[in-house]
Structure 1
């Protein structure tokens, strides 16, 4: 009897041990390096960033900002899946030069509209279109921004960009600039613009990793990145620059001892010196290509 009891206890102990040993582990978020290595469509990587709490942690709630005396207006244009919108500042003189301004992950807020206003004043005769990539949604806290970015599927984002390109017309020369989420989509917009692309500016945006797609770029690219950026780490920037040069594309990469979001005045990590230097170089780049 004692032997039978001993065997029974041993059997239960073995079963419990096996159950613990083979218990499936909790799923973990991909590392930042994993995002780069495992996915080949960067537009989808940008969408996946929204599900990563580490990415969200890089963005503190911005300070409130209200644009005074705007010169632009909100417009609507046709896009697959429903009309899209944008903040439009029309050039005083007729021109085929268009600058697409692409929002951070917060949405098309007054800070982005202010950037559009600044480009309009400093560049002169160019049409400015700040695309509304979230279809009217604007976040003021990271949780909302994370949700909006997660819900902004790449198919809809592409449709908005293509709608903007159609609105500009087939003779338009397309320049792009964007920050963070918009930095990645500045490059994606350049890819979608094809032969109409005339200049791409990207601030700490996710680089494209698909070499075949990069080979289709038809314009020069300038990038501004932060050495302390944990979302777009220096290694990813180095790989992007190396690949672009290997395939014969003209790229200029600027690096600053700053953090992600350094160019947003309403961001607590705002770096005035880095922002001013990057802005001067951005305007010089765009003017040289216009």
Structure 2
């Protein structure tokens, strides 16, 4: 069974190779192989990949922060969970959700980062327009239905909300790990840092060449979705693009850093968080 899953994952992750160079305004997320299926969206339909995600334990966040809305280029407002800096600041951290959606766990992570970073505005971006999955099946359907056009519009709207003078870094987990990297590409010269936890890497070297920042990638060696082989190829692609990437591989499963995950790895999570925090603090100096 394991061999079958590995082969299936390999086929899904390599079913599409772009024939044309995409521009920096589009996130490569679609739903059919002939239309440029994005790795994580393709995997979201696979029951085996869904089983890699343990159903989150119940959790309720009751701390600081406010839900805000902002306009997007497609005419439909987007939303997010905002924690403002105590003093006026042009430093912004965009936080991207796991495949479950912008749930209370992500809000808690945003609040923790806000507290530990100091004078940084933190915006957890809602990529599902208010919808949250509580089961694997729900999360899989939400991720599959996330169109590339809407995702791009939301991310560009969040960047515009931060402002033209903003210095922006991004962080995300799982689906959000992929989105964090795409956000850094969209941010262009405003980008100062990018942290991606076990998200699908960008495979187009030409697109990676448009990055204006280095990347911190955090992954698990036991991850059967975003495997060590996929990560190794990402390192090669970043080198080919002339970009810098630091990879930290933990002996852990997919989603190990989520405290609401029954397979949560506290030691790896604490170390990864310290690594991420130190990285972000240096970027915001």
Q: Same fold (TM over 0.5)?
A: yes
Distance 1:117 1:35 in 2: 35
- Unmatched tracts of structure 1, length 5 or more: 1-27
Task: Select which of 38, 63, 66 maps to 1:73.
Answer: 66
When normalised by structure 2's length, the TM-score is 0.89
Spell out the pairing of 1:221-236 with structure 2 (5 A cutoff): 221-236=215-230
SS at match of 2:108: helix
Measured after TM superposition, the shift of residue 287 of structure 1 is: 0.5
When normalised by structure 1's length, the TM-score is 0.87
SS at match of 1:176: strand
Distance 2:16 2:182 in 1: 15
1:32 correspondence with 2:13: no
Distance 1:194 1:63 in 2: 37
For 1:225-260, what per-residue CA distance to the aligned partner results, in whole angstroms no more than 9, with x for missing partners? 000000001000001012212332111000011000
Distance 2:229 2:68 in 1: 39
Task: Select which of 112, 117, 120 maps to 1:123.
Answer: 117
Distance 1:182 1:257 in 2: 21
1:52 correspondence with 2:26: no
Q: Cα RMSD between the aligned structures?
A: 1.6
Which position in structure 2 is the counterpart of 1:199? Answer: 193
Q: Is the 8 A contact 1:63 1:267 kept in 2?
A: yes
Which position in structure 1 is the counterpart of 2:178? Answer: 184
Aligned residues: 262
Spell out the pairing of 1:64-143 with structure 2 (5 A cutoff): 64-68=58-62, 70-81=63-74, 82-143=76-137
SS at match of 1:287: helix
Measured after TM superposition, the shift of residue 29 of structure 1 is: 12
Q: Is the 8 A contact 1:227 1:255 kept in 2?
A: yes
Distance 2:122 2:227 in 1: 30
- Where does structure 1 differ by over 3 angstroms across 4 or more consecutive aligned residues? 40-43
Spell out the pairing of 1:146-225 with structure 2 (5 A cutoff): 146-225=140-219
Q: Is the 8 A contact 2:205 2:240 kept in 1?
A: no
Q: Is the 8 A contact 2:114 2:122 kept in 1?
A: yes
Distance 1:243 1:176 in 2: 20
Q: Is the 8 A contact 2:93 2:121 kept in 1?
A: yes
Larger Rg belongs to:
1
Distance 2:162 2:7 in 1: 38
Distance 1:29 1:85 in 2: 37
Measured after TM superposition, the shift of residue 30 of structure 1 is: 8.2
- Unmatched tracts of structure 2, length 5 or more: 19-27, 30-37
